[in-house]
Structure 1
Amino acid sequence: MKNIKILQFMFIASLLLFSCNEDESVTLVEPNHRVIVTSEMNFENTINIGGHIDFGDLSRGVKSRVWTFPTNATNISGEDGNTSARDVIKGFFYEPGVYDVVLSQVFSGNVYPNEDSTEPIQGRELDTTIVVTVRGNVAANIQINYVNDDGSTGAPLNLSNNAENEIIASKYVRLTQGSTGEPTDFNWSLNGAKPEQVLIADDPDAETDVRYSKLGTWDLQFIASRTRPTDADTIYIKNFIKVNPSTEPVVLDRVFEKEAQTKIGLEFSREMDPATVNKNNFTVSIDTAGGATLNPEIASVTVDANEGNILVVELANEVMYNDDIVKISYTPGVLSTLDAVQATTITDAILTDFIKTNILESLNVDHSIETSDDSNWPYLWWGGQWGEYDLSVSFDRAHTGDKSLYIEFRPNGGMIIGHKDAGGADITFTVESGFKYEMGAWIYIEDLGNITGEANVRMYWTPGTNWGIGDNVTFAPTTTTGEWFYSSSVVQFAAAGEVGYMIRGINTNTERLKFYMDDLTLYKLTSRP
């Protein structure tokens, strides 16, 4: 048995030796493929000033190569000049600008221009240009001006530490910036102002007004930044502004739902003195959808712990619903601002901002028009005047984000559109029966034309359409133009389930009606039992 095993081993070894000798006589033909990579190729080869990019020639069949860099403001690591024959190199860039890096290659034969090519190009020599963008450092630059009483831009403020620019409580300043280095995000931190944080993205020309209502001396911070290539610059001004008492009347700016169903917020133009607050000077009335009027007891009225210009009114024995009309009144007592200006009479100020959640924000509906194109808002083929419109997804104007729907109703025309996915299926949202909903949108009117007859937009849905609902937007000669406004209608759905949009518009006038639509809303309202 041992001899047999030895013979078997010698036979197998001879076969292996013979096979190896045969393989060594085979000539292998290597294909010529161009493959060039960089360390920043996924980021458009864009880097910060003073940074570097690694360049790699992974091509097959290369007989010789030469990398050539611009002669100014660049350097190839390990090389004396601006050229290199190595397959992998590191290049440094020292001045902002756009640079061409050229790779000249000589191959063994005709070249496949990339790994996916099925046919080679005729020729053995290829030149490839790689464009490198070098960004300068971000340098923050700001301008802050007083705002005149007529809304125009006033004198500039001193941006030095401890300048303590003086301002009267409740007055505004206007923020602008001119930062360099192509930043994309701008973050203002403004202690003592409202709002205290202003975040601006992708809008270098944005202009923002903020109000100073808290007495005292406040700092300011501004950060300009970009994410790729990452860089930022900060401006910090200590004791930037000093807010002084005012003798002007205190103004009630807003009445809103502070806490779901039980608390009302009263936002004043400046901070209120907690020692002067007396709940007995306030009354609340609620007109219900059923026609009743309620007069709930007030449990307390306090100054908000975080925002001194807001009073919080808490109800004792009643709750509020979205379909209520809530009114609040104040009979003058000693309620005063921190700068000793007494509040004046408030009569039936209406609560306008209820706490609501836009159902569409968590669904596939592109309520903000940010992921749509024209094809996602198609004509529904009603025929006749209902196709007499023009629609496009526009970058020209937006309520939020970058895009909106731009719509023109032709003379004596109209529109009927849906919201569909790329396959033509309705994009739907879930509704319930037995509840009231608020359907709305933000509108910017470019041109009303000559409004003499019916002109409107109505938000319908399918299936289960209620053709009897009222206008969502009514266009009239007095309708606001040249600024965004919100318009809505209250609807009910006959059955629970999935429904999709049908947005209908009409223009019975002899001129075009032009407007933008953005930020569609669908709020499920609370209703009094």
Structure 2
Amino acid sequence: MNIKYKFNLPILFSFGFMLLTLSCDDDPADDVQLPEISHRVIMTSQMDFENKVNLNDEITFGDVSVGVVSRTWTFPEGVANISGSENNTTSSEDIVQAFFTQLGDHEVKLHQTFQSSAYVGTEQRGTELDTTIVVRVLGNIGANLTANLLNSDGSVGEALTIGDNSRNEIMAGSTVRYSITTTGEPENYNWSFEGGDPTTSTEVVEELDVKYKKLGEYGFGFSANRARPEGGYELTYTNLVKIIPSTEPVTLDAIEATADGNIGLNFSREMEPTTIDMTNFSVSITNAGVEIPATIASVEVDPNEGNIVIISLENDRVYNDDTAIVSYTAGDLTTTDAYPAESFTDLPVVFKGNNILNNGTYDYSFENSTATNWPYQWWGAPWDAYNLEISTAQAQDGESSALIEFDPNGGMIIAHTDTSGAAIPFTVEEGKTYEVGVWVYVETLSEPDTGTLFAPDLRFYWAPNTDWGVAPNPAFTSDFALNQWVYSSFLTDFGGVAGDFTLSIRGYNQDNSTVTRFYMDNLSISEAVLRP
């Protein structure tokens, strides 16, 4: 009988033997011994690491099976050197050490003949067994960088010259798309962008967009590594870009509360401190429908981030349960390259705290997951009448977002899961209040079929301690702003208990006979500071 088995990851099987000796008056003729049981046991020195090795590094193969009569290891022609042997393709030794000299996946085969039908685990599988071990030989880690300026419409523009002191001239407020190609299968990335937004990233992605808002000359850094087999690579360029004054209008990219409760106006490039007149700014605050007097104490350019203008309040701050809005009447405020800032009215302040969904597993920004990681949760109709895909057409941050379409009179119920289908958890602390936020970009929206029915909405449920009465976040009412990113949030204490929770996201379109289409990005749960 010749039975063949093939596997990529060698498995160490438990084995045993039985030896029974009976004696009478120490007479050897009376000894009775049962035959030895045959059992296959194969291992490698890298079996716990998917049998990956560096080029020209060694891996040891071991056959410690019980009851072996003969064995033959067979290596592919011309890919390995067997230690202590002139024959580099076959060996009958129980322990074989080999050095692999060719990159790629290589099959090492073992043919064994046993004295009796051999056990594999708890099954007997015959006296002749064949095993295949796949060894992956990796080269050194390497990386190659390209970069392109992005046009105002988001399309890819002129390529940058890559090299030290190349000083590619880029107008302030512009975005550069960095693209990296790696070899050697690194597991971890570390990006560094001097003078950019973001300044660093650990995302394992092929592309990252970086916006430059401050004048100056800035470098670039990238490193990649893997733990087993160990390897790493570092790529740095000094003075890769030179940010010069822009002829384009300055834009207000965000209004966010700072950690100490001030208000930060995030402009697309550096602002000139001497042009600030605090009387051109106003702040209004309400809390639970009650107006809170707000007096501006100062308006200053952040000394560390020249594109951020900080508004401080007199003997007060903004809190997560406040509704705070900011207005600016055009005056003397200009960029450092003398471009005037435009007026804006009643723009809301967004709270951006430490996002506990940023835990290394929850893909809160839709950058590293697929639609299969956001599956339907089997509530039945109408909650199955939707479509979700990961899209790069719009992104509030990063490269991707979730593009969602509610079918006419449909709905959605989804959760975030790992590759095994298990819901990905996040951890909250007892007695704390959290702000649950989401950014949406609505393209298609219509009112309910009658005014007495519900508008489309999103609602965030959690388990355990689900609050089924949670409010819409957001409600897509008839006055909802279209074709722009809008932030929506609500506060909760998750039942006041500590522990791991999971999220479900419900979408409602049951009262609409038309499609509701929108993008969703940057889910967040952050600790809230409430007004005393």
Question: Match for residue 169 of structure 2?
Answer: 166
Contact 1:389 1:410 in 2 (8 A): no
Deviation at 1:56, TM superposition (A): 0.5
Question: Match for residue 85 of structure 1?
Answer: 92
Deviation at 1:390, TM superposition (A): 4.8
Question: Match for residue 194 of structure 1?
Answer: 197
Deviation at 1:159, TM superposition (A): 1.1
Deviation at 1:312, TM superposition (A): 2.5
CA distance in 1, matches of 2:517, 2:248: 41
Question: Match for residue 13 of structure 2?
Answer: none
* In the alignment, structure 1 residue 128 sits paired with structure 2 residue 131: yes
CA distance in 2, matches of 1:368, 1:337: 31
CA spacing shift, 1:488–1:140, aligned 2, 3 Å: same
CA distance in 2, matches of 1:358, 1:418: 18
CA distance in 2, matches of 1:111, 1:282: 87
The equivalent position to 1:315 in structure 2, one of 304, 313, 321, is 313
CA spacing shift, 1:177–1:85, aligned 2, 3 Å: same
| 1:270-419 paired onto structure 2 within 5 Å | 270-274=269-273, 276=274, 280-289=278-287, 290-292=289-291, 294-298=293-297, 300-322=298-320, 323-329=322-328, 332-333=331-332, 336-339=334-337, 341=338, 343-344=340-341, 346-348=343-345, 350-356=347-353, 377-379=377-379, 386-387=381-382, 389-390=384-385, 409-414=406-411
Deviation at 1:77, TM superposition (A): 0.9
Question: Match for residue 5 of structure 2?
Answer: none
Query: Which segments of 5 or more consecutive residues in structure 2 lack a partner in the other structure?
Result: 1-22
CA distance in 2, matches of 1:463, 1:140: 47
CA distance in 2, matches of 1:401, 1:227: 27
Identical counterparts, % of pairs: 34
* In the alignment, structure 1 residue 109 sits paired with structure 2 residue 116: yes
Query: Which segments of 5 or more consecutive residues in structure 1 lack a partner in the other structure?
Result: 1-16
Deviation at 1:185, TM superposition (A): 3.9
Deviation at 1:66, TM superposition (A): 1.5
CA spacing shift, 1:287–1:512, aligned 2, 3 Å: closer
SS in 2 for 1:141: strand
Deviation at 1:194, TM superposition (A): 2.2
Deviation at 1:62, TM superposition (A): 0.9
The equivalent position to 1:58 in structure 2, one of 61, 64, 67, is 64
> What is the identity, as a one-letter code, of the residue corresponding to 2:243?
V
CA distance in 1, matches of 2:65, 2:357: 50
CA distance in 2, matches of 1:32, 1:172: 66
Contact 1:169 1:244 in 2 (8 A): yes
| 1:137-216 paired onto structure 2 within 5 Å | 137-201=140-204, 203-204=205-206, 206=207, 208-216=208-216
Contact 2:42 2:63 in 1 (8 A): yes
Deviation at 1:140, TM superposition (A): 0.7
Question: Match for residue 222 of structure 1?
Answer: 222
Deviation at 1:57, TM superposition (A): 0.3
SS in 1 for 2:310: strand
Contact 1:391 1:405 in 2 (8 A): no
SS in 2 for 1:507: coil
TM-score by length of 2: 0.74
TM-score by length of 1: 0.74
Contact 2:460 2:473 in 1 (8 A): no
Deviation at 1:464, TM superposition (A): 6.6
- How many pairs does the alignment contain? 488
CA distance in 2, matches of 1:271, 1:284: 21
The equivalent position to 2:51 in structure 1, one of 27, 45, 55, is 45
CA distance in 2, matches of 1:515, 1:389: 17
SS in 2 for 1:270: coil
Larger helix fraction of residues: 1
| Range that drifts further, 284-293 or 370-379 | 370-379
> What is the identity, as a one-letter code, of the residue corresponding to 2:307?
N
> What is the identity, as a one-letter code, of the residue corresponding to 2:305?
E
**CA deviation vs aligned residue, 1:8-63 (integer Å, no higher than 9, x gap):** xxxxxxxxx97665499333421100110011112221222222211100100112
The equivalent position to 1:71 in structure 2, one of 63, 71, 77, is 77
Question: Match for residue 253 of structure 1?
Answer: 253
CA distance in 1, matches of 2:415, 2:145: 45
CA distance in 2, matches of 1:443, 1:86: 64
* In the alignment, structure 1 residue 100 sits paired with structure 2 residue 77: no
| 1:489-500 paired onto structure 2 within 5 Å | 490=490
SS in 2 for 1:143: strand
Select the structure of larger CA radius of gyration.
1
Contact 1:250 1:270 in 2 (8 A): yes
Question: Match for residue 19 of structure 2?
Answer: none
Contact 1:256 1:264 in 2 (8 A): yes
Contact 1:470 1:489 in 2 (8 A): no
> What is the identity, as a one-letter code, of the residue corresponding to 2:113?
V
CA distance in 1, matches of 2:265, 2:83: 65
